[in-house]
Amino acid sequence: MVDLALVSAYISHKETAKIAGTTLMKRAEWFSVLQNQLLQLKAADFVGVVITPATATKKRKRSTVRLTYVLDQAEDWVTVSGVQKRRQRSCKVCAPLRTDSKKKSFATTFFCERCSVNNATCWLCNKIRCQYKGVAKTCFEIWHDDFDGDSPCFG
């Protein structure tokens, strides 16, 4: 924090010198002058100074980092005909594997958080709905076992 304050103070010095048209000190020279000024301060210089009370620090909630691929269920809710249901999205595996173009791909409420990038969520089915290379698997398994599961869903 002190480093940041010193850098900010030097940048302020540069801008002030530019505006006032005065000579700009080099960074090392400026730090030397600042150090000498701070060393000359006495206890009397701090008489009457009111200490700012510490603010209540609020801890930030850290986002968890997933090391494995896990299906999570979305918490998006919609009301359909007066009934509250989870919002469904098109599965990223079902859509390209659908052989009948007239049928829609299956919708799902599950996603892989580790494969999702920023606001682009990787939606994957949690039920066995199709076969891939002759094996019945969930879309989640197909995505991670047969497709390149290490790459993000949108890249």
Q: What is the pLDDT of residues 109-134, one digit of tens each?
A: 898 888 887 778 888 888 887 777 88
Which of 27-36, 96-105, 123-132 has the least mean pLDDT? 96-105
pLDDT for res 64: 60
Instruction: Give the integer Cα–Cα distance in Å for 50 and 26.
Output: 33
> Is 152's pLDDT higher than 50?
no
Q: What pLDDT was estimated at residue 143? A: 86
> How much is the pTM?
0.49
- What confidence category does residue 29 fall into, taking pLDDT thresholds of 50, 70 and 90? very high
Alpha helices in the chain (DSSP H): 2-20, 27-39, 94-97, 139-141
pLDDT digit string, tens, across residues 134-148: 888 888 888 888 876
**Which of the four pLDDT bands, split at 50, 70 and 90, describes residue 63?**
low
Decide: 123 and 91 in contact? Cβ < 8 Å. Answer: yes
What confidence score (pLDDT) does residue 32 get? 92
List of residues 6+ apart from 149 with CB closer than 8 A: 69, 115, 143
Q: For 36-51, how does the pLDDT look when each residue is reduced to its tens digit (9 = 90+)?
A: 998 998 888 888 888 8
Tens-digit pLDDT profile for residues 72-96: 888 889 898 999 999 888 888 877 7
